[in-house]
Amino acid sequence: MSRSSNPADPSNPATPAELKGPKDIATSAGMSAPQSPADTSVQDRLARLRAEISELNRQILRLVEERVAKVGEVRALKVAQELPMFDPVREARMFEELIAGASGSLTEREIRALFRPIFDISLARMEGRTPNASLRVCRQHGEPDRSFAVGPARLGRTPRPILIAGPCAVESEEQIERVAASVASLGLKFLRGGAFKPRTSPDAFQGLGREGLRLLRQAADRHGLAVVSEVTDPREIEAMAGCVDLFQVGARNMANYELLKELGATKKPVLLKRSFAATLDEFLLAAEYLAKFGCQDIALCERGIRTFERQTRFTLDIAAVPILKKKTALPVIADVSHAAGRADLIEPLARAALAAGADGLMIEVHPCPEAALSDAAHQLTIPEMERLTRALGLVHDGMDAGEI
């Protein structure tokens, strides 16, 4: 008996081709399957929508380019009037206007995510930054090392490294005068001294405060020196501004962002110390706070990080010096006194820092270190400081490194 020709009959061993429809057979044969009118209509509509979206993209690009051109005009006006490039109040108001005027098809988060890059690019143009530099403090393409005036002195691009020397804390008029006279006799131009001392123990010497600032300023003026002193409290900035040429932000305050914002707004030069527990990225972001809020004259200070080693007070991160010099154009200073925590290691650490490319050193000196009210172990005597300065080739004669 012959087999059934009905494909639905289970007993009929139909071939795969016999089970396929015309569309399947055409596809398996490498031919285009005929499209139904409905398929053609969808493809045409999709093509039209894509073309409309492409045109909208071009319109958005033209509007952004027009916006960038307007930003350039704003920049020219701000430069002429010496106004800050970044206006946080204006930026917040623009976001508020956009969110208030939205039709509802975008959430507030989506609106912020959409316009944030546009605002960032505009600000980069305002500040003259290149797009590949993510931070204001990053070295721009082809940018040379930065240099700026600090009172009668200069930081950055000096013929020889500079030395910032002075006691840990201003203790008396006689003490700071003796140090200032020695510093000036070597042709150095920076006198450091702490008036406000953040100490681990609340019972330790906290500094002379404003009286210490007065003594420091008077000694510096008598010898033509620039004053470097630490600020610890935003409330003291105004009082210190008239006495200090270079604000120092200590390691403990590197992440005190409110202090950094206030200091940035003064536009005075700032020496920012790295926290002993901070990565280099965190260090640069702290510097970014200063730059964003108006400070253009920033120096970075490597002062040692905390490790498991106990032979020294901290571990001087020598690699940080060339890394910072590569990533930024800011002057880089090495505070070898706090890193060592002991006077006998000051010279080898100083040589290592200079060999790594540091623009200068910070060293603490006291007429009688054993009687110092703070950090006695790492302060040099005046003769030791003088010998070290000569050994390192940092003695300046006349108009030389660190002098305007």
* CA gyration radius, the chain: 33
Domains identified in the chain and CATH numbers:
40-126 (1.20.59.10), 148-391 (3.20.20.70)
Give the C-alpha separation, 74 to 70, whole Å: 6
Inter-CA distances, 134 with 281, 286, 321, Å: 12, 14, 20
Q: What's residue 200's pLDDT?
A: 79
What pLDDT sits at residue 207? 83
Q: Which segments of the chain have a pLDDT < 50?
A: 1-5, 7-8, 10, 16-19, 25-27, 132, 399-401, 404
Reading the block at residue 325, the tokens are 């010099």
Chain centroid offset of residue 43 CA: 52
Residue 34 has a pLDDT of: 63
Q: What is the pLDDT of residues 198-227, one digit of tens each?
A: 887 887 888 899 999 999 999 999 999 999
Strand spans (E) along 250-400: 270-273, 298-302, 332-335, 360-364
Output the pTM of the full model. Answer: 0.70
pLDDT at 1: 44
CB neighbour list of residue 27: distance below 8 Å, 6 or more residues apart: 33
Helix, strand or coil, per DSSP, at residue 66: helix
Please report where in the chains the tokens 């200590």 appear, as a residue: 250
